Structure 1
Amino acid sequence: MTTIAARPTTTRLGYVDNLRVLLTVLVLAHHAAATYGALPFWYWTEPSDSPSGIALMLLMLVNQFYFMGFFFLLSGLFVPGSVDRKGPGAFARDRLVRLGVPLAAFWLVARPILSLREWPARSAQGDSFLHFWFTVGDVGPLWFVEVLLVMSLAYAALRALRARSAAGSGVVAGLRTAAEVQPRPVSFRAIAGLVALLTVVTFLWRLAVPTGTYWELGGLPSPAYLPQYAILFVVGLLAARRGWLSGLTVRQGRVALVVALVSVGLALGGLALATAPGAGVLAQLGAALAENIFAMSAVIALLVLFRERLAGQPTWARFAAQNSFAVYVIHPLVLVGVAVLQAPLVAPAGVKFLILLALSVPLCWLFAYLLRRIPGVSRVL
């Protein structure tokens, strides 16, 4: 059978930026679904066990299988080149500013504002407002920024040690920039190997950290997925050096799309079995396998689709990409604000979800743009 090779493209960053915009919208959809679905865990919730509420819960579960891991993969793509240009020390300082400042700002300002519903109960218990302000809640969605900062600093430290070792031995390490990388073919066997690695590590990890675990230290809502996040971040680092994303073929993208559509139901069924009382190790292993087959199929299908069909960046797409990180940081405030305003509306969960999403997406980008117009803010957002 003939394999259709990926055509050369000069808009690699364009399609990657477009993917990041899509994933940011999916984050908004995820938390809008958490507002009205049958799996409430958001700052403002109106849970529903109606059919549309169940559908919103399924949307959240499907998102969770792959979308944050995909974020880590795309983030890893930009790290090696940045370290090349700045050096490990300057890169680490830059990450501490660009990731650490938004994280600290969210913790100091947005976190207590989003948790104000808890203040009457805390006040009735004799808590002071100052104590409440600094102790309520966690970093919320900014856990992603927190984990990404740790991973980025770890990579910078590794590069610094490597450079020191090379200098001590008199060897000058020559690293190619992403622009100099020639695409390397990615075989189906390599993809299967990645799925196998993700499955085994995920299975072993979840024997100690089962699905649904919450880590209060660090405010991690999904530590059961940490192996996927770490491995896909490393895949992003390696892909930047080896041209893997450009090496994916159109045929692989089509196969991945079919596999994703077929396996999504298996992944949901596997999750239900693995989290049922008394679930054995075989059920957990099967769930990890089905989940990672779907996750990698969805990632590959979207990568190839955007590279081949959605790589262009008209003005609106560039605007969306430039403001996507700021949107990620501020979106909880916008979503909760809109949800509170439409709370009196009596409508099915699915309808309120659609209204919330339709209003919040443009508002998030508008407020992000205005925020970044403040002098100095664009330095970190």
Structure 2
Amino acid sequence: MNSRHIGSSSLQKEGRLYFIDNLRAALTMLVVLHHLVYFSIYNEVLSQGSIGAVMGLLFLAFNQTFFMGTFFLISGYFVPSSFERNGATRFIKDRFIRFLVPFIFYVLILSQVQSIEVYMLNQEPFTWQTYFSHLTYGPMWYVELLFVFVCLYAVWAKFMSKNKLSVVRQSKPPTYTMLAIFVMILAVSYFIIRLWVPALDLPGGSPKVRAFVGLFTASGYDLPQYVGLFILGIIAYQRNWFRNTPDSMGRAGFGIAIGASIHLLPLVLIFGVDELQFSGGWNWASLVYSLWEALFCVGVILGLIIFFRKRVSRQGKSWSFLSAHSFVIYIIHIPIIAIVMAGLKVIHFPPSFMFLAMILITIPLCFLLSYIIRQIPFVSKII
């Protein structure tokens, strides 16, 4: 089988992976919906114990198993080619501008917009004390952690170069054995980290460890997933997996996710809910839950990649627009949710219809504001 060095002049330039752009755009909308549900439950727009709240919690739990990890997988896939194309210095500089500038802007400015309800409804005065108390990275933990990952990759790539260890790109499809090994490593990693950082932000664990991982990710219990999938993305690029993974693996992926949910989740729900044992600790319920989450994560991601490659491989105007604006939408969506929710509460909008109204207002507003923001010349160069 032919193989070529990454960055070699003889390497044929591949066409753009539009299906990956489309998948990333779809995941961005899923993130928006995820946070619409989360903040609706947290602010009791969906009242506790209601069917809507229960369904919302299940929606959040299932999403959490794969959606942010998929972003890290996709990001990892495109890191090697960008590094080789730009060189280490320009690569880090570009990532610093693209990642940390929006991160800093969010922390200093948009975090206050995210807290608009406490200023408007709770009539909390805007002072330096309240300003600093409401500083948060919001959804930008993702770009912060991704910046850490790409910097570590740059160090590793320079080390490989100095030691004259060639990085070879092949066209070698993944095997089920490889996927099984990854699932087992991920499951064990889940089980271990949740000894200190329980799943789903449930009580317990080590406050010091939780505080440390909280510097980099909002869900520290999923940190092994983010690390593992970013590395897997790099391997996927080196072996061209986004293109050469058999279609049958996509069907198998969805089948694995469904099968794991049917056979493992009931055990967790029946025997692991008592004292929240499934969330972490030295018990079999936590181990089974970790195994289910690893299987569901890998299965759904595999299925989605193949589904989009087969069914959503082209870009019309809608997908093109969404792909171009997805990063801006990701940055601004939580402040927009906060503004919409606060506005509806101010006008005493009927609670029964508030969640639906939030969806119908927030999503178009995200599109509109992202379009306006991208028209700003300096901003458009960054995001």
| Same fold, judged at TM 0.5 (above) | yes
Amino acid at match of 2:355: F
In structure 2, relative to structure 1, the CA distance for the partners of 1:371 and 1:235 (3 Å cut) is same
Gaps of 5+ in 1: 1-9
In 2: Cα distance, 1:345 partner to 1:135 partner:
29
In 1: Cα distance, 2:133 partner to 2:216 partner:
12
Question: In the TM superposition, what whole-angstrom CA distance separates every residue of 1:208-243 from its partner, at most 9, and x where no partner exists?
Answer: 222116537526321000000000000011111111
Following TM superposition, by how much is the alpha carbon of 1:64 offset from its aligned partner in structure 2, in angstroms? 0.4
Question: In the TM superposition, what whole-angstrom CA distance separates every residue of 1:5-38 from its partner, at most 9, and x where no partner exists?
Answer: xxxxx7652000001011101101111111223x
Structure 1 residue corresponding to 2:294, chosen from 280, 292, 295: 292
Deviates more, 1:218-227 or 1:205-214: 205-214
1:218 aligned residue: 215
SS in 2 for 1:325: helix
Following TM superposition, by how much is the alpha carbon of 1:347 offset from its aligned partner in structure 2, in angstroms? 4.4
Q: TM-score by structure 2 length?
A: 0.85
Q: Do structure 1's residue 371 and structure 2's residue 373 form an aligned pair?
A: yes
Q: Percent identity?
A: 29
1:73 aligned residue: 73
Gaps of 5+ in 2: 1-13, 203-209
Following TM superposition, by how much is the alpha carbon of 1:148 offset from its aligned partner in structure 2, in angstroms? 0.8
In 2: Cα distance, 1:270 partner to 1:119 partner:
45
Query: Residues 57-68 of structure 1 correspond to what in structure 2 (within 5 A)?
Result: 57-68=57-68
In structure 2, relative to structure 1, the CA distance for the partners of 1:267 and 1:294 (3 Å cut) is farther
Q: Do structure 1's residue 201 and structure 2's residue 205 form an aligned pair?
A: no
2:130 aligned residue: 132
In 2: Cα distance, 1:261 partner to 1:12 partner:
31
In 2: Cα distance, 1:28 partner to 1:120 partner:
23
Q: TM-score by structure 1 length?
A: 0.85
Q: Do structure 1's residue 13 and structure 2's residue 1 form an aligned pair?
A: no
1:5 aligned residue: none
Alpha carbons 1:270, 1:290 under 8 Å: kept: no
Q: Do structure 1's residue 230 and structure 2's residue 227 form an aligned pair?
A: yes
Alpha carbons 1:198, 1:231 under 8 Å: kept: yes
SS in 2 for 1:376: helix
Equivalenced residue count is 353
In 2: Cα distance, 1:270 partner to 1:137 partner:
40
Amino acid at match of 1:258: G
1:311 aligned residue: 313
2:382 aligned residue: 380
Alpha carbons 1:12, 1:307 under 8 Å: kept: no
Following TM superposition, by how much is the alpha carbon of 1:333 offset from its aligned partner in structure 2, in angstroms? 1.6
| Aligned-residue CA RMSD (Å) | 2.5
Amino acid at match of 1:58: L
In 1: Cα distance, 2:192 partner to 2:259 partner:
25
2:28 aligned residue: 24
Amino acid at match of 2:110: A
